[in-house]
Amino acid sequence: MLLRSELPVVIRVKGRDFVPRDKEVAEQFKSLTFSLTDVIRILADPDPLFIANKMIGFVNFTYLSGVRGVHVTGSLLGIEAPWGRIAQRLQRNEADLKTIVNETINRRNDIVHRADREKKSLDGPPQEIGYAWAKQAVDTIIHVCLCLDELVSAHMSELEAQGEIVAATGTL
């Protein structure tokens, strides 16, 4: 998981400015809380791994996925306008990519939660599904994830080249 491996590094490098000023990120974490014990611990020892693990635990609990998941993950890891960058790198239309991801997530939810019946037609028959559609949907999500991995890897390499990771962590 990208957040598990890279978020502590980004927090170390950027310090208190690691959270992007972004509506989606703010919305995702609006109900994240730190106990008084957590706050005292952070004040005494601002351990990036502790903060990252707290955020990752929250993300695991709140189910970060789909279009928002890609955006929030990319943004937290320092990728500005992640969907635009992904679309550009894949030479695809951003809106089309988001539509495919959303439709696939919705279809997955229909399958898992409603025996493959549409939310608006629970009494109806199961939806038809074709191999070509399913393959295209899964492949698109794989390509989006691979692209996000590449963008984050390149960003982390840039931080290393600038010496920011070395200065913040003492290691590469």
What tens digit of pLDDT does each residue of 67-77 get? 999 999 999 99
Task: Select from 66, 1, 76 the least CA-distant residue to 32.
Answer: 76
Name the nearest CA neighbour of 6 among 167, 151, 161, 170. 151
For the residues 51-60, what does the mean pLDDT come to?
93
Q: What is the 3-state secondary structure (H, E, C) of the chain?
A: CHHHHHHHHHHHHHHHHCCCCCHHHHHHCCCCCCCHHHHHHHHHCCCHHHHHHHHHHHHHHHCCCHHHHHHHHHHHCCCCCHHHHHHHHHCCCHHHHHHHHHHHHHHHHHHHHHCCCCCCCCCCCCCCCCHHHHHHHHHHHHHHHHHHHHHHHHHHHHHHHCCHHHHHHCCC
Banded pLDDT at 152 (limits 50, 70, 90): very high
- The residue among 19, 49, 5 whose CA lies nearest residue 153 is 5
**Where does the pLDDT of residue 121 fall: very low under 50, low under 70, confident under 90, or very high at 90 and above?**
confident
- Going by pLDDT thresholds of 50, 70 and 90, the confidence category of residue 142 is very high
Tell me the pTM: 0.86
The confidence score (pLDDT) of residue 61 equals 84
Domain edges within the chain: 2-169
Percent of the chain with pLDDT over 70: 94
